[in-house]
Amino acid sequence: MGESTIIWLAVVGGIVAFGCALVCAVASVILARAAQRGSSARMQINTQVAHRPAGGQPQPQPMMTVLHPVVAPQPQQPIIVMMPQPQLQPQPPHHPQPGAGVVLEGHYPQLGRALGSWLQVERDELERGRIARDLGRLGSADAARALLDGVRTGVITPTIAADNLERGGFDAGIAVATALRDPEPRVRALATSLVGRRVPLTPASIEPPPASPPPRSDPRA
Partner 1 sequence: MIGTGPLHLTELIVLLFFTVFAIGYSLLLIQAAIATAREVERERRRAYSVADLAASSSQPSVTIIVPAHQEAAAIVQTVRSLLAQRWHQLEVLVVANGCTDGTLEQLVEAYDLQPTSDLLVRPPGARARIRSSWRSSTDPRLRVLDLSAGGKADASNCGLERATSEFVLLVDADSLLAPHAVARAMLPFIELGEQVVAVSAAIRVLNGASVDADGYVTSAMPRSLLARMQMVEYARAFQIGRAGWASIGALPLVSGAFGMFRTSVLRAAGGLDPTTVGEDLELVLRLHATVRRGGRRPDIIFIPEPLCWTEVPEDATVLRAQRQRWHRGLVESVMRHGSMLLNARHGTVGMLSFPFLGLFELLAPLIELLGIGALLLAAVTGALSWLVVLALAMFAVSFGLALGMGAVLLELLWGRGYVQRPRDVATLFVAALLEQLGHRQRTAVWRLHGLIAGLRGRRASWGRMHHRGARAVTD
Binding residues for partner 1 restricted to 56-85, rule: CB under 8 A:
57-58, 60-64, 67, 69-73, 75-76, 78-81, 83
> Is residue 94 within the footprint of partner 1 (CB under 8 A)?
yes
For residue 78, the minimal CB distance to partner 1 (Å) is 5
Please report, for residues 44, 150, 199, the alpha-carbon distance to residue 117 in angstroms, rounded to integers and kept in the order given: 51, 9, 29
Residue 171 in contact with residue 80, Cβ under 8 Å?
Answer: no
Residue type, 209: P
Residues 6+ apart with CB under 8 A from 196: none
Residues in 107-136 at the binding interface with partner 1, rule: CB under 8 A? none
- Count of residues engaged in binding partner 1, rule: CB under 8 A: 90
Instruction: For the beta carbon of residue 131, count every other beta carbon within 10 angstroms.
Output: 25
> Is residue 45 within the footprint of partner 1 (CB under 8 A)?
yes
3-class SS of residue 220: coil
Please report, for residues 23, 128, 215, 216, the alpha-carbon distance to residue 219 in angstroms, rounded to integers and kept in the order given: 54, 49, 11, 9
Segment contacting partner 1 (CB under 8 A): 115-123, 146-154, 185-193, 206-214? 206-214
List 40, 43, 47, 55, residue binding partner 1 (CB under 8 A): 47
Return the number of the residue (152 or 167) whose C-beta is nearest partner 1: 167
Return the number of the residue (72 or 121) whose C-beta is nearest partner 1: 72
> Is residue 159 within the footprint of partner 1 (CB under 8 A)?
no
Return the number of the residue (61 or 153) whose C-beta is nearest partner 1: 61
> Is residue 180 within the footprint of partner 1 (CB under 8 A)?
no
| Rounded CA separation 136/128 (Å) | 12
List 37, 41, 43, 87, residue binding partner 1 (CB under 8 A): 87
Helix axes 141-153, 185-198, angle to 10 degrees: 140
Residues in 25-44 at the binding interface with partner 1, rule: CB under 8 A? 25, 27-29, 31-33, 35-36, 39
> Is residue 205 within the footprint of partner 1 (CB under 8 A)?
yes
For residue 111, the minimal CB distance to partner 1 (Å) is 15
Residues 6+ apart with CB under 8 A from 58: 49, 51, 52
| Rounded CA separation 147/163 (Å) | 10
